[in-house]
Each structure stands twice: as structure tokens, then as C-alpha cells.
Homo-oligomer: A and B are copies of this chain.
């Protein structure tokens, strides 16, 4: 599975591509940052992010885009930019029919370090080790994007089993409901 991880932000949007399956060594295919100038107009910044993400999708052809699930309890100003940048990334992927997966920051940290409250340095260290890199990717947004991709590769089998179980359960309930309706009629 090839995953493009995106750590969304208006000023720095971290991007990282990882190949792999759960239980096997992972391979980094690319890492970088899409930057937009803080003094540019918001609309122009969103266009620049769209172009940047499009280039990464075009070059690496990922099967899934994994993006951070944004919560608004964070810093008020930052969270709006994060939501807007992530919307552009999700739009680019969905337009191409690439599934979008969302993971919370604590899910990502827990996946790569074992603790949902790990700090940036710990995440960077584990990303470096798991991808067998010489040094932690800089800036931290780039390392976070790789961590998102790794998190998705490791969580995807469990997630899809869960989704199948939920779907099966809904189907069984629907069948049971239909059967009981049949009896009362």
C-alpha cells in the first residue's frame, strides 16, 4: 500500500509518501513541505496548496491520502488554517477517486511511539528509525506527514475489519427488523 500523509497547514503543509504493509519494513518514497507565504491572500494560498498537493499526487500516485483529523480545541487561529488546508488536500484526493483517511494526532503518536502523548522529538526519532533514515526529516511537519502515512498503513487492516463488522451488524439489524415487520403484518 502506498500512502501520502499530509500534515495540513497554510504556512507549511507537510507531505510524505510511504510504501508498505503492516508487519513488514516500510519504505519512504518522498518527503517535503508545501509552503505558502503568510502575507499572501488566503485564496492565493489555497491555490498554491492545491498545486503543491496535485504535484505530489501526480508524481507518487498514492492509493490512500491520510490526513490529520482537525479538532477545534486547539489554538483558534491555527485551527482555521489547518481546516482550510486539509479541505484542499482532501478535495484534490477525492477528485481523483483516492480514498481519504483521517487520523487524530494522538492516534498517530500512539501508532509510531506507543504513546498518544509523545512529543515532536519522539515522533521524529521513531519515524527516522522505522523508515531507516539517516536523520529526522525537517521541519517537524514533514516528519508528522510521514508518521501519518505510517499510522495509516498500520491501522488500515484493523479499521477495515471494524468497518466490515459495522456494515455486517447493520445488515443483520436491517434483516431482523424486516423479519419482525413481516411477522406483525
Contact = CB atoms under 8 A, between A and B. Distances in A.
Contacts of A140: none
Oligomer copy total: 2
Q: Is the interface of A mostly helix, strand, loop or mixed?
A: helix
A175 interface: no
Interface in A46-101: 46-47, 50, 70-73, 76, 79-80, 83-88, 90-91, 93-95, 99-100
Chain A, interface size category, equals 20 to 34
A41 interface: yes
A47 B72 CA distance: 23
A133 interface: no
Contacts of A94: 41, 43-44, 46-47
A42 interface: yes
B50 A91 contact: yes
